[in-house]
Amino acid sequence: MQLRRRSFGSAAREYDAHRPSYPDTAIDWALAPLGSPGGRVLDLAAGTGKLTASLVRRPGAEVVAVEPDEQMLAVLRERLPEVRALAGSAESIPLPDASVDAVLVGQAFHWFDPARAGDELARVLRPGGVLAGLWNYEDDSEAWVAGLVQVTSLDRRVPGVSQGGRRPRAMLEHESFDEGGRQEFTHSRRLTAESLVATLGTHSWALISSPEEREEVFARVRGYLAGRPELGEEFDMPLRTVTVRMLRR
Answer yes or no: is pLDDT of 165 > 60: no
Whole-number pLDDT of residue 8: 81
User: For the residues 134-155, what does the mean pLDDT come to?
Assistant: 93
CA distance 181 to 170: 9
Strands (E), 68-176: 84-87, 100-106, 125-138
Contact 143, 121 (CB under 8 A): no
Contact 102, 34 (CB under 8 A): yes
CA distance 42 to 10: 24
Contact 102, 205 (CB under 8 A): no
Whole-number pLDDT of residue 36: 85
Q: What is the pTM assigned to this prediction?
A: 0.92
Nearest to 54 by CA among 216, 210, 187, 215: 187
User: For the residues 109-129, what does the mean pLDDT come to?
Assistant: 96
pLDDT in tens, 63-105: 999 999 999 999 999 999 999 999 999 999 999 999 999 999 9
